[in-house]
Amino acid sequence: MNQLSIEDLRVSIAEQEIIRGLSLTMPKGEVHAIMGPNGSGKSTLAKVIAGHPDYKVISGTIEMDGENIMELEPDERSRKGLFLAFQYPSEIPGVTIANFLRAAVQARLPEGEELEATDYYAKLYEKMDLLEMDRSFTSRSVNEGFSGGEKKRNEILQLAMLQPKYAVLDETDSGLDIDALKVVAHGVNAMRGPDIGILVITHYQRLLDYIIPDHVHVMVQGRIVRSGGKELALELEEKGYERYETADVGEPAMA
Amino acid sequence: MVKETSPLEIERNVGNFAYPETHTHDAGVGLSEKTIHYIADIKEDPDWVREFRLNAYKTFMSKPMPTHWASKDLEAIVFDNIRYYLSGGVQPKRNWEDVPDDVKRTFERLGIPEQERKFLAGVEAQFDSEAVYSNIKKAVGEQGVIFVGSREGLKDHPEIFRKWFGKVIPTGDNKFSALNSAVFSGGSFIYVPPGVKVKHPLQAYFRINAENFGQFERTLIICDEGAELTYMEGCTAPKFNTATLHSAVVELVALKGAKIQYITVQNWSSNVFNLVTKRGLAHEDAEVKWIDCNIGSRLTMKYPGVIMKGRRARGEVLSIALAGDGQHQDTGAKMVHAADETTSNIISKSISIGEGRATYRGLVQIPKHLKNCKNNTECDALLINSTSRTDTYPAITVRGTGNSVQHEASVSQVSAEQIFYMQQRGLTKAQAMSLSVNGFVNDLVRQFPMEYSVELKRLIELEMEGSVG
């Protein structure tokens, strides 16, 4: 029961089916990677797990620790312990990182309980040090005028502060130079442990040199076409996705 | 002339809150010379004030509605259905203990905390048309500061009051300033002697508590040479089911080197017509700053202005307008440069929600013969829904060559992606919305006194909660 499990998920947007019968199970305590070519539906999967309203779920279920979360609002899913690190994080002009995160942490406390400011800042600074972020970051507006690397670092900072049960990292490596990539990977690795399951979505193998996954899944045309150990990532790097794409993946399995 | 409790049965919508009213004075509905005399009798006006009222009444009757440029919605005001004077017949009180319990309950409901009262140097709260509670801390009084209701002002301090009353905003300025001049009651009179810097803001809370009852408060503030004052005005009104008219006139006079900051946070119920004339006169080296937050009401028309009469005078308007569904905030600023080296600054932010509409109307005048005058105007609009509306009408008239103006305007929208992003972090849709809106106004709100920025934040939250289904 201690797992994030997706069962025969089918999702469409504007009448087009993007996810076509996808099943995946990620136990807590593990790191899984989903790799796939552009347009395979990886980012759609990430958003659907988080409950993005634009997508239409045709069938299937997503369960967190045995609880079906399909009918929950994105914020309810978040408070139950689901985190999505965005590929393109939104800017929130005028709202500082400190205030935004504080509101997010506060949202997790029981009704009537006030977040202790000194505890909050102590934790915030600790996590920022881990991610080699300057303290002045806290007073900048969320993602406004941030470089690609700063945005991703900010995502991981939020991940570290909110300590979810399950985290989905959507293309966290895109737009990062190698130094930034190492810092981000260091932040994610520091989070690893028995209390969190991490799903890393990526196009390239590069990130997986630094965040070593327990399992790798290959996603093509809206389905998981192959699963294996970490060595699968290396194989993909070498041989590419072509053979999965040209292979007749046919009609969705549960059609 | 003194009547018992109003014989009119008022059907009240107690959706929000309203406590039983016990008005010993009631001018009844409609406006005529008789109404003016009734008010003047009750208030025991000196003859010059009665005369002033009667003249203003004639001006009011002769002036057309400004519907040639303003909203047609104004035509929905039926002047004959409005009650122009109501009073509990209670004398202004100095001690909190003396304030009637139901009035106290209203204040509690409005969330005026005990500590805040202690913090504030003086509190003047208007309940219906009379100030039922007014108090200035000893220290302020000892500095020679006068902080009283307008009625006491004109009676006890005629030498100062008469000199400036109706001088910044003449009766005939517009139809509603004329109306106010005819039937005004309540409001504050403040005089700060030369060189006195009032440390804590003086504050007044206003409230309307009678259906169909226009509130016509009249405020006159004079800061003598080198004096400084911050005045705060907060307005909340309970909900009523027929239109209510609020038409205030506020005149500020900053003599040489004086500074006045006038702060308003308004939250009218959605049936109130809020048609207010506010203007300041800044003499040499003086500064008049309006901080104006308009939330609620059916229609607000308000363009705080500064006439920079003396050299190096400064004028500033910082305004925030929030137009909810079915509301129209028609706000802006007027900057009249009338001396060399005068500078003015206008920053206006508006938020339109649902089918709400926010209009910015700005007027900046720098005549040809002046030198080294500067104006900066920024207006930003935020649209929450696709049905929300915003309009900008800047009218900047700059003649001559030695002056500079800057004008910037922007329109932005809260995007669905932004809301989703915040929801993914655990904030509800309403929380996400209000955080976005607070972010939008944040750089402006930072310039407000602490307790007002907190209050404004709370009002925005309440407004956003109501607007998200």
| pLDDT(B112) > 60 | no
Of residues B415, B421, B443, nearest to A94 (C-beta): B443
| Separation between Cα atoms, residue B72 and residue B299, nearest integer Å | 10
- The token pair that represents B245 in the structure block: 């008219």
Q: Answer yes or no: do B439 and A93 touch at CB < 8 A.
A: yes
Quick: pLDDT tens for B286-296: 999 999 988 88
Say if B15 is an interface residue toward chain A (CB within 8 Å). Answer: no
Distance CA B244, CA B242 (A): 6
Query: Domain map of chain B by residue range?
Result: 25-302, 416-469
Domain assignment present for residue A176? The answer is: yes
pLDDT-derived band at B138 (thresholds 50, 70, 90) equals low
The yes-or-no verdict on residue B398 having pLDDT over 90 is no
Residue A250 has pLDDT above 70, yes or no: no
Residue A152 lies in a domain: no
CATH number, domain containing residue A74: 3.40.50.300
B87 Cβ neighbours under 8 A, 6+ residues apart: B23, B24, B25, B26, B42, B128, B129, B130, B185
Residue B327 predicted with pLDDT over 60? yes
pLDDT over 80 (residue A179): yes
Under the banding of pLDDT at 50, 70 and 90, the label for residue B124 is: very low
Residues in B closer than 8 angstroms to A99, CB to CB, are 435
Section B173-187 average pLDDT: 93
**Burial grade of B283 (CB within 10 A; 0-12, 13-18, 19 or more):** buried
Report whether B192 contacts B260 (CB < 8 A). no
Model confidence at A10: pLDDT above 70: yes
Average pLDDT (B170-184) is 95
d(CA B221, CA B161): 9
Residue B89 predicted with pLDDT over 70: no
Q: Considering chain A, what percentage of its residues have pLDDT values greater than 70?
A: 96
Which has more confidence, B24 or B380?
B380
- Beta bridge partners, B127, equal B130, B207
Closest partner CB to A90 (pick from B417, B427, B442) = B417
Domain count, chain A: 1
- Is the pLDDT at A82 greater than 90? The verdict is yes
* β B314-323/B343-352 pair status: parallel
**CA-CA distance, B243 to B297, in Å (whole number)?**
10
B400 touches chain A (CB under 8 A): no
Nearest chain A residue to B443 by CA: give it: A94
Tens of pLDDT, residue by residue over B204-252, are 654 444 444 558 889 999 999 999 999 988 655 454 445 588 899 999 9
Kindly list the residues from chain A whose CB atom is less than 8 angstroms away from the CB atom of residue B439: 92-95, 141
Question: Residue A183 carries which DSSP code?
Answer: H
Please tell me if residue B428 touches chain A, with a CB cutoff of 8 Å. Answer: yes
Residues of A in CB contact (< 8 Å) with B are 50-54, 73-75, 77-79, 83-84, 86, 89-95, 99-101, 103-104, 107-108, 141, 158, 162
Q: How confident is the model at residue B318 (pLDDT cuts 50, 70, 90)?
A: very high
Which residue is it, tokens 């099943």? A23
Torsion of CA A221, A222, A227, A231, to 10 degrees: 60
Residue of higher predicted confidence among B178 and B126: B178
> Has residue A229 been placed in a domain?
yes
Cα–Cα nearest to A102, from A130, A85, A129, A122: A122
Residue A184 lies in a domain: yes
pLDDT at position A28, please?
96
pLDDT at site B304: 97
Q: Which domain holds residue A23?
A: 3-88+164-246
Give the C-alpha separation, A244 to A235, whole Å. 12
Measured between beta carbons, the chain A residues lying within 8 angstroms of B432 are 75
In single-letter form, the type of residue at position B460 comes to I
Among candidates A92, A103, A104 on the partner chain, residue whose Cβ is nearest the Cβ of B418? A92
Q: Tell me the β-bridge partners of B337.
A: B308
- Name the least confident of B102-116, B121-135, B153-167, B387-401: B121-135
The minimal CB distance from B425 to the residues A51, A94, A158 is found for A158
CA distance A77 to chain B (A): 8
Chain A environment of B428 (Cβ under 8 Å): 73, 75, 107
Average pLDDT over residues B407-427: 93
Residue B68 has pLDDT above 80, yes or no: no
Beta bridge partners of residue B244, listed in sequence order: B272
Residues of A in contact with B417 (CB under 8 A): 90
Chain A residues with CB under 8 Å of B431 CB are: 75, 103, 107
Length of chain A: 255
Residue A105, in any domain of the structure: no
Which one of A89, A91, A108 has the shortest CB-CB distance to B426? Answer: A108
User: What's the residue count for chain B?
Assistant: 469
In a domain, A189, yes or no: yes
A60 domain residue, yes or no = yes
Q: Spell out which residues of chain B touch residue A54, defining contact as CB-CB under 8 Å.
A: 416
Structure tokens at B327: 């509301």
A72: left (phi over 0), alpha (psi -120 to 50) or beta: beta
pLDDT at B385: 85
Helix (H) or strand (E) holding A245: helix A242-246
The minimal CB distance from A107 to the residues B427, B441, B442 is found for B427
| Percent residues over pLDDT 70 in chain B | 78
Residue B14 scores a pLDDT above 50: no
**Alpha carbon of A83: minimum distance to chain B alpha carbons (Å):** 7
Kindly tell me if the per-residue pLDDT of B372 is higher than 80: yes
CB contact under 8 A, B426 and A107: yes
Q: Looking at residues A228-245, what average pLDDT do you find?
A: 85
Residue predicted with more confidence, B241 or B370: B370
CB spacing of B421 vs A90 below 8 angstroms = yes
Q: Let me know if residue A129 belongs to a domain.
A: no
- CB contact under 8 Å between A78 and B443, yes or no, is no
Question: Considering only CA atoms, which of B263, B326, B340, B325 is closest in space to residue B294?
Answer: B263
Query: Which pLDDT score is estimated for A184?
Result: 92
The answer on pLDDT for A255 being more than 90 is no
Structure token pair of residue B217: 């408060």
| DSSP annotation string for B345-412 | EEEEEEEE-TT-EEEEEEEEEE-TT--S-EEEEEEEEEE-STT-EEEEEEEEEE-SSS-EEEEEEEEE
Q: What is the mean pLDDT of residues B24-48?
A: 87
Give me the interface pTM, i.e. the ipTM. Answer: 0.95
Contacting residues of B for A95, CB less than 8 Å apart: 435-436, 438-439, 442
Give the pLDDT confidence of A120-175 residue by residue, as tens digits.
Answer: 999 999 999 999 999 999 999 999 999 988 999 999 999 999 999 999 999 998 88
Q: Measured between beta carbons, which residues in chain A are less than 8 angstroms from residue B441?
A: 94
Is B36 in a helix, a strand, or coil? helix
Band (pLDDT 50/70/90 cuts) for residue B98 is low
Which helix (H) or strand (E) segment holds residue B183: the answer is helix B175-183
Specify the amino acid at residue B73: D
Cα A171 from Cα A181, distance rounded (Å): 11
What is the reported pLDDT for A4?
Answer: 97
pLDDT at B421: 98
Closest residue to A141, CB basis, from B412, B422, B439: B439
- Shortest distance, CA B424 to any CA of chain A (angstroms): 5
pLDDT of residue B109: 54
Q: What average pLDDT does this structure show over A6-26?
A: 95
Contact (Cβ atoms closer than 8 angstroms) between residue B40 and residue B53: yes
Chain A residues lying within 8 Å of B424, measured CB to CB: 50-51, 74-75, 77-78, 83-84, 86
